[in-house]
Structure 1
Amino acid sequence: MNIVRFTAPDNSEHYGVLEGDTVKALAAPPFKGIEFSGLVYPLDSVKLLAPCAPSKIVCLGVNYHGHAKEMGHTIPDAPLIFLKPSTAVIGPEADIIYPPSSQRVDYEAELAVVIKKPVWRVSREAARDSILGYTCFNDVTARDLQKQDGQWTRAKGFDTFAAVGPWITTGIDPSSLTVETWLNGERKQHGNTVDLIYPIDYLIHFVSHVMTLLPGDVIATGTPSGIGPMHPGDTVEVRIEGIGTLRNYVTRTD
């Protein structure tokens, strides 16, 4: 099942379920179950938004063996987590804004987990019960500012630097999924979640012992090797096996 969040032709916002070329609207957010409202829209009549509205995005740094190697990092002794603000979130087909303070903005394709219920100090064994589904994520990064600052808040936190979507896919096994970035039709990243250093159940367990996770929160599980720069005018796509394609456009407003 693919769960979407969308703007209808009357500009009202809904969650829904994608079925072929139609979207069946939900009566309420999907975190406590699926209940249809009876409204049905043609897909080409709605605008897809980010498929959830997280209170926070918890991201993983250096969580693929291949990415650790290309960046010259040692394997971390514990998951390396950082936050992106909710104001960074954009959805499919939206613009990534290149900030004037950066000279290098990179793509980072990632599998993301969407949380369905409040989670606090959950065991690893129970962690999967807290998952609504999975989506594509682009952890956009001002690489020069990351190196300059020595910590990642500014480099990762600009508005539009958390692209999410196009939907939340349920019922898939995340343990061996191909994760790719395509830039202007050319493949730049090609990895697989089998290369994750810390698996998803452990990540939820670990993060929930630091902070409470809320319905709609996102955990972005890290990027494989092959990161690189984007430029204004580029089209960037994150493609994940079993989910689909998240497409965004790089632009500059200054």
Structure 2
Amino acid sequence: MKLASLKSGRDGQLIVVSKDLGRAVSAAKVATTLQQALDDWHNIEAALCSLYEQLNKGVLTESFAFNPSQCAAPLPRAYHWVDGSAYVSHVELVRKARGAELPESFWHDPLVYMGASDAFIGPCDDIEVACEEWGIDFEAEVVVVTDDVPAGTSREAAKGHIKLLGLVNDVSLRNLIAGELAKQFGFYQSKPWTSFSPVLVTPDELGEAWDGCKLSLPLRATLNGRLIGAPNAGVDMTFDFPTLIEHCAKTRSLMTGTVIGSGTVSNVGSKEGSCCLAELRCLETIAQGKPSTPFMSFGDRIEIEMLDAAGESIFGKIDQRVVQSIL
């Protein structure tokens, strides 16, 4: 099943989207928003699945053409957004570029932080930034959405709490990060709003690519028509999603609608390219002594997408431009 939210108020209007992303139908008779659906998922899932089946059969006269540009984030705002750094090889590479060693603990103790979830942005919304000198970067990631996860949930039990998957562009302002981390209190100014793929999907949509822990397909990041990378999200993922959920729920429960990100998808050596410019610049620094690729500029276009084995888009495409905002 594929779900999206049309722009409407702060929480969107829930719609069901066809498998080929061509058609959609309102889910208002079942649930008006995705959060409402998630809150009563046990009772509502079957009705949404029925709509999805009918939509794919082409028997719903009230269906309409699906237009990602009319979409908000599937969850326009969430109670909890936690981003991880599941690809430790990415962290190792960044540290190597600046001559720093990776602490051994990073390989067995996941890195996560809580991000801004009061407003997510849609797949075609502009990336608004006031200053290019802040070092504008994209980060292509996979995310999962959970139901209620009790505190102390084990990794094995965590698998059953994953209800939806999608993609995000976790925009970073790289030149602000160092100053914030130096305060030893985490990200804030360096992490503006996060954008989402047009749809979130239930795990069964992913077939053999999803093993309950990892999504093993390439994640494509294209900047101004140039493919920056397509690393496989299931390769070199040090901490899979159940492990991240177990880690996040160690001392407190997670509420329904919690969104957990993988962090920038990265493969060792980045032979398949990179899912952020920071990694590309690190590789250039290691090879040439300095980076040659600039961060993003106003007018740049970033596209993020994942295709199935048949070459069809699973989640739809994140397709954004960077524009200057006015402070």
Query: Aligned to 1:195, what secondary structure does the other structure show?
Result: coil
User: In the TM superposition, what are the counterparts of 1:88-167 in structure 2 within 5 Å?
Assistant: 88-100=119-131, 102-150=133-181, 151=184, 152-158=186-192, 160=193, 162-167=194-199
CA shift in 2, pair 1:156/1:115, >3 Å: farther
Equivalent in the alignment of 1:24: 25
CA shift in 2, pair 1:104/1:44, >3 Å: closer
Partners in 2 of 1:46 and 1:234 — Cα distance? 18
Structure having the larger proportion of residues in strand: 1
* AA aligned opposite 2:191: G
RMSD: 2.7
Query: Aligned to 1:97, what secondary structure does the other structure show?
Result: strand
Contact 2:3 2:200 in 1 (8 A): yes
Equivalent in the alignment of 1:207: 248
Partners in 2 of 1:221 and 1:145 — Cα distance? 22
Task: Indicate whether 1:187 and 2:219 are aligned.
Answer: no
- Give the TM-score normalised by the residue count of structure 1: 0.87
Partners in 1 of 2:216 and 2:320 — Cα distance? 25
Gaps of 5+ in 2: 52-59, 96-100, 267-273, 278-294, 309-313
* 1:55 aligns with one of 79, 82, 91: 79
Task: State the Cα distance separating 1:119 from its structure 2 match.
Answer: 4.1
Partners in 2 of 1:24 and 1:178 — Cα distance? 29
Of all paired residues, the percent bearing the same amino acid is 24
Partners in 1 of 2:170 and 2:11 — Cα distance? 28
Query: Aligned to 2:197, what secondary structure does the other structure show?
Result: strand
CA shift in 2, pair 1:12/1:132, >3 Å: closer
Partners in 2 of 1:176 and 1:118 — Cα distance? 24
Query: Aligned to 2:164, what secondary structure does the other structure show?
Result: strand
Q: Deviations over 1:34-58 (max 9, x none)?
A: 3358863332498211011311210
User: In the TM superposition, what are the counterparts of 1:79-90 in structure 2 within 5 Å?
Assistant: 79-90=110-121
Partners in 2 of 1:209 and 1:169 — Cα distance? 27
Tell me which stretches of 4 or more aligned residues in structure 1 moved more than 6 Å.
none
Partners in 2 of 1:58 and 1:248 — Cα distance? 22
CA shift in 2, pair 1:100/1:45, >3 Å: closer
- Give the TM-score normalised by the residue count of structure 2: 0.69
Query: Aligned to 1:147, what secondary structure does the other structure show?
Result: helix
Contact 2:147 2:256 in 1 (8 A): yes
Task: State the Cα distance separating 1:78 from its structure 2 match.
Answer: 0.7
Equivalent in the alignment of 2:87: 64
Task: State the Cα distance separating 1:210 from its structure 2 match.
Answer: 3.9
Query: Across the two proteins, how many residue pairs are aligned to each other?
Result: 250
Task: State the Cα distance separating 1:6 from its structure 2 match.
Answer: 1.3
CA shift in 2, pair 1:180/1:101, >3 Å: closer
Higher mean C-alpha displacement, 136-145 vs 71-80? 71-80
Equivalent in the alignment of 2:289: none
Contact 2:68 2:124 in 1 (8 A): no
CA shift in 2, pair 1:232/1:211, >3 Å: farther
* AA aligned opposite 1:223: T
CA shift in 2, pair 1:191/1:127, >3 Å: same
* AA aligned opposite 2:157: A
Query: Aligned to 2:199, what secondary structure does the other structure show?
Result: strand
Partners in 2 of 1:70 and 1:213 — Cα distance? 31
Partners in 2 of 1:99 and 1:43 — Cα distance? 32
CA shift in 2, pair 1:118/1:102, >3 Å: farther
Partners in 1 of 2:68 and 2:237 — Cα distance? 38
Query: Aligned to 1:191, what secondary structure does the other structure show?
Result: coil
Task: State the Cα distance separating 1:80 from its structure 2 match.
Answer: 0.6
